[in-house]
Amino acid sequence: MNAPLSDSLAARVERHLLHTVGVAPADAGPLALMTAVSQAARAELSRRWVATDASDRALKARRVCYLSMEFLIGRSLGNALDALGLNEAAEGSVGSHARQLEDIESREPDAALGNGGLGRLAACFLDSMAALGLPSYGYGIRYEFGMFAQRIVGGRQVEQPDPWLEDGTPWEFPRPDVHYPVRFGGWVERPESPDAQPVWRHAGEVSAKAYDHVIPGHGTERVSTLRLWKAAAPAHIDLAAFNSGDYARAAEFKNQFENISWVLYPNDSTPAGRELRLKQEYFFTSASIQDIVARHRAEHGRLSNLADKVAIHLNDTHPAIGVAELMRLLVDEHGVSWAAAWDITRRTFSYTNHTLMPEALETWPVSLMQQVLPRHLEIIFRINAELMALAQATRPGDVDFMRRLSLIDETGERRVRMANLSIVGSHTVNGVSKLHSDLLVETIFKDFTVLWPDRFTNMTNGITPRRWLAQANPGLSALLDARIGTGWRRDLMQLQRLKPLAEDAAFRAEFRAIKRANKQRLAALIERTTGVVVSPDSLFDVQVKRIHEYKRQLLNVLQVVHRYQAILANPDAPVVPRVVVFAGKAASSYHTAKSIIRLIHDVGAVINRDPRVGDRLKLVFIPNYGVSVAETIMPAADLSEQISTAGTEASGTGNMKLALNGALTIGTDDGANIEIRQAVGDDNIFIFGQLTHEVTALRAAGYQPMRIADGDPALQAVLDSIAAGAFNPDEPARYRGLIDSLLWGGDHYLLLADFAAYVAAQARVDALYRDAEAWSHKAVLNVAGMGGFSSDRTIREYAERIWRVAGQA
Ligand SMILES: *Cc1c(COP(=O)(O)O)cnc(C)c1O
């Protein structure tokens, strides 16, 4: 078994070219080489997967199963080679074909099975679960089409399909013998005998088929598994239609089932397709829980000890229906009593909340759930009846208390509250930064703390240093290896050893040279994708994340326009040259976000072409933000924009990637920015703006944005120029609505309230950047302070305090 793997990687690559890809090695192009190198890595990962699985089975290990609608993985080849220690061998192998490894790796399409932070978090977590040797599974959907590809046409976002599987992927292992039926619709039959279980007479059924991705562990032979489900029409396809020559109908019949795993929904999607989205959620959750139960029965022969052997984690509420599904499986299919089943369920699940914004909490109309999942709705009603009894016993007669806790929202159209279901069905609920977790129990989940004060906790997010430092920033990694050793990859706290080096001028010079090389690489990407030429000697100021009003890209644009006006008004004043970089996707139905993308392009087109400005200010928007684009941007940033309205960003992880790569943060006191400030020191970060409680107070007191604009001529000039169409004379009224929403529409995210403080903070940024030594001193201290933001730390906390799962050697 080992023999064919023990020969050189180069020999294996040549064999794969010939046997797997089917080309003469001498004729192999970059795509063929990418496939062959991937196949060679896959073979080694396969061996590791088999060994890990055998060991976990032999030990009957307690496992964690991480259910997530999204896994934003990106590319796999570079990560696999890194984990397998095959980087140099691979360079040699492709070098013998006169190719560069970086170029070969860039031929792999991103696996973009997620929208943004939530999905990328799940991918970082898998990496850490593998590195820590946790017996673990990620569970999700094998979307045929991932997150849309973003093109910019005439300054506007155009969404294009992302057929990432079109040419196949070397990274998945189809498991044709692992499949489960997932049922929908129909009705529930009540048996005559009161002891018999109700029977769900479903109306439709699809088959969920398993496809595994092996997740390599860095510094360990152990791996983790990402099991993704594909929907397949049941075997009994409409043969009658097919045989009668009606192929269109036969195909339509098949599609009606298989479309469940076709597309990833943008998370601010339209109501159209909502039924399909509910079906997606149930589809992958049901398949995953059936898989967990089947594995457990095979290993233990009984279900009574399920909670002792499995931890099931809900990444947000998308898999929350799993609470009802496990109850259904236990009670209806395995004859467990309701009380025993509830005890097992509640000891098995845990749940992470990702948002405080009430409008972002997931609910489903009772009528839709009745139609799609009638038995689950019954189970939810019964859970709710018990919850209401507990509420009544705790606060007799407090009807409002009951109304707020209820799993059913009774105002207007009755809806099922998935967050409430997740809380009731879990033993532990966590937020994703200290501030967010505190706010959860003070605001939206306050009533639940009356019932279960110990259920709520915090797990501050983290990022994997393997992808976001070792792979993305080879220059800085090599410097770290030389100066503090290589151990930081698996123990990021070792970055603290950099602290004294911040005082070392020679070290700072090396650090600056690496940053400059990374900026050159980003400048090349900017020129290739936007046509704009930027100077790597400028300050690179980046705001890269999904486009959303609460993240306040518009506030940044206001600041850029102000900067532009200041340059024109004071042409001889010295200024720090800046390149302002945006990247991010807007949900396809989110008009305001799309309008902000267009505004960035309109403003950029005017500034970038204005000869009076030159290199002093450039504004660019890099299209198609995703993991691979982020890997080029993060190492090249000087300044990290994290400017959400205080109290709105649950954590953020982009902030962590940027600081880890030596960018200084300009940000609000929000989410994980607060913990970054504490870790790197108040002197090494630019914090500005209203605090969370001030935001609350300001809104309560009757916030008047117009008064702020009236009192600030600079702000007034910025708003006037955009509203008057200074950047889009072809259609001057284009952004009237956007500006009106600030002045007249209440400015919900308080851009105007924070504008002056933001501009002042930016002036402090400029002043510091003029002093290159002082700037790089702080940048080094940022890297040194970021050790606590490794997802290894986060996953260790989850494993110890929530999942009680131990790492295996
Ligand atoms: C890290 C990351 C995010 C999250 O960024 P935030 O700034 O925390 O919103 C989104 N998308 C991609 C591709 C990422 O890598």
Q: What is the pLDDT of residues 369-426, one digit of tens each?
A: 999 999 999 999 999 999 999 999 999 999 999 999 999 999 999 999 999 999 999 9
Beta-carbon neighbour count of residue 57 at 10 Å? 13
> Is there a catalytic annotation at residue 309?
no
Counting Cβ atoms within 10 Å, is residue 739 exposed (0-12), middle (13-18) or buried (19+)? buried
Q: pLDDT band at residue 517, thresholds of 50, 70 and 90?
A: very high
Q: Which whole number is the average pLDDT over 348-369?
A: 95
pLDDT of residue 104: 96
Q: Do 789 and 463 touch, CB atoms closer than 8 A? A: yes
**Residue 11 in this model has a pLDDT that exceeds 90:** yes
- Atom 5 in ligand 1: which residue has the minimum CA distance? 654
> Is there a catalytic annotation at residue 778?
no
- Long-range contacts, 252-255 (Cβ 8 Å, 24+): none
Catalytic residue among 12, 42, 551, 734: 551
pLDDT of residue 5: 46
**Taking the CA atoms of the chain, what radius of gyration do you get in angstroms?**
27
> Is there a catalytic annotation at residue 218?
no
Using one digit for the tens of pLDDT, what is the confidence trace for 434-485? 999 999 999 999 999 999 999 999 999 999 999 999 999 999 999 999 999 9
544, 582, 658, 670: residue to mutate for ligand 1 pocket, most atoms within 8 A of CB:
544
> Is there a catalytic annotation at residue 551?
yes
Closest to 55 (Cα-Cα) out of 157, 146, 135, 174: 135
Residue with tokens 């057929």: 163
Bin 155: left if φ > 0, else alpha if -120 < ψ < 50, else beta: left
Pocket lined around ligand 1, Cβ cut-off 6 Å: 72, 116-117, 120, 545, 625-627, 630, 652-654, 657
Q: Find the 651 Cα to ligand 1 centroid distance in Å.
A: 11
Q: Do 756 and 559 touch, CB atoms closer than 8 A? A: no
Beta-carbon neighbour count of residue 337 at 10 Å? 10
Q: What is the mean pLDDT of the chain?
A: 96
Q: Which whole number is the average pLDDT over 769-785?
A: 98
- Atom 7 in ligand 1: which residue has the minimum CA distance? 654
pLDDT of residue 465: 98
pLDDT of residue 716: 98
Q: Which whole number is the average pLDDT over 311-329?
A: 98
- Atom 11 in ligand 1: which residue has the minimum CA distance? 116
- On the CB side of 766, how many CA atoms lie within 13 Å of its CA? 16
- For residue 92, what are the CA distances in angstroms to 10, 78, 101, 403? 7, 14, 9, 66
Q: Which whole number is the average pLDDT over 552-566?
A: 98
**Residue 639 in this model has a pLDDT that exceeds 50:** yes
3-state secondary structure of 232: strand
Give the C-alpha separation, 151 to 158, whole Å. Answer: 5
Q: Find the 120 Cα to ligand 1 centroid distance in Å.
A: 7
Q: What angle do CA 162, 631, 607 make, to 5 degrees?
A: 85
Q: Delineate the domains of the chain, giving CATH numbers in brackets.
A: 60-75+110-459 (3.40.50.2000), 465-795 (3.40.50.2000)
Q: Which two tokens stand for residue 211?
A: 């496809």
110, 653, 658: residue to mutate for ligand 1 pocket, most atoms within 8 A of CB:
653
- Atom 8 in ligand 1: which residue has the minimum CA distance? 652
**Residue 243 in this model has a pLDDT that exceeds 90:** no
Q: pLDDT band at residue 272, thresholds of 50, 70 and 90?
A: low
Bin 302: left if φ > 0, else alpha if -120 < ψ < 50, else beta: beta
3-state secondary structure of 22: coil
The H or E element spanning position 575 is none
Catalytic residue among 355, 645, 648, 653: 653
Report the atom number in ligand 1 closest to the C-alpha of 626.
13
Q: Find the 117 Cα to ligand 1 centroid distance in Å.
A: 4
**Residue 1 in this model has a pLDDT that exceeds 50:** no
E-state strands within 461-563: 539-544
Using one digit for the tens of pLDDT, what is the confidence trace for 110-147? 999 999 999 999 999 999 999 999 999 999 999 999 99
Using one digit for the tens of pLDDT, what is the confidence trace for 590-614? 999 999 999 999 999 999 999 999 9
pLDDT of residue 58: 96
Catalytic residue among 548, 657, 677, 777: 657
Q: Find the 547 Cα to ligand 1 centroid distance in Å.
A: 11
Q: Find the 365 Cα to ligand 1 centroid distance in Å.
A: 31
The percentage of the chain sitting over the pLDDT mark of 90, rounded to a whole number, equals 93
> Is there a catalytic annotation at residue 209?
no
0.85 exceeded by the pTM?
yes
pLDDT of residue 358: 87
More confidently predicted of 45 and 247: 45
pLDDT of residue 353: 98
Report the atom number in ligand 1 closest to the C-alpha of 117.
4
> DSSP letter at 725?
T
Q: Which whole number is the average pLDDT over 207-232?
A: 97
Q: What is the dihedral of CA 414, 416, 417, 418, to 10 degrees?
A: -160
Q: pLDDT band at residue 237, thresholds of 50, 70 and 90?
A: low
Provide the angle, in degrees to the nearest 10, between the axes of the packed helices 374-394 and 321-328.
100
Q: pLDDT band at residue 3, thresholds of 50, 70 and 90?
A: very low
Report the atom number in ligand 1 closest to the C-alpha of 627.
13
Q: pLDDT band at residue 365, thresholds of 50, 70 and 90?
A: very high
Using one digit for the tens of pLDDT, what is the confidence trace for 642-676? 999 999 999 999 999 999 999 999 999 999 999 99
Q: Which whole number is the average pLDDT over 551-570?
A: 98
Lowest-confidence segment of 26-35, 231-240, 495-504 by average pLDDT: 231-240
